[in-house]
Amino acid sequence: MKALTLALLLSLPVPRLAPPAKPSIFPVAREVRKGGRWHLAATGHAVYCYGPVMTMPQAAGGFLRVATFCRGEQAMVPLKE
């Protein structure tokens, strides 16, 4: 019985371990994520923007606060006061 068990164990395939990958000489370009901030847009939606909040003059007079460099298609989003 021992001989049969030993023969079964020796007949099983042995997985070969791959050597660890060598580190590359050239640095890998990683996506740089700037710290952003959530703002409430004038439309009532939350937007995530990377740039500063600026105060822009309007043509009719007065000022409008906008967040800059936001996710999505808009570069500037008017903020809710």
pLDDT tens for 33-78 read 568 899 999 999 999 998 899 999 998 889 999 999 998 878 899 9
Which residue ranges make up each domain of the chain?
51-81
Selection from 54, 52, 56 nearest residue 34 by Cα: 52
CA–CA separation, 74 and 78 (whole Å): 10
User: What is the pTM for the complete model shown?
Assistant: 0.54
pLDDT for the residue 29: 57
pLDDT surpasses 80 at 8: no
Selection from 79, 20, 12 nearest residue 49 by Cα: 79
Q: Do the Cβ atoms of 25 and 33 come closer than 8 Å?
A: no
| H helix runs in the chain, sequence order | 2-11
pLDDT for the residue 42: 94
pLDDT for the residue 73: 79
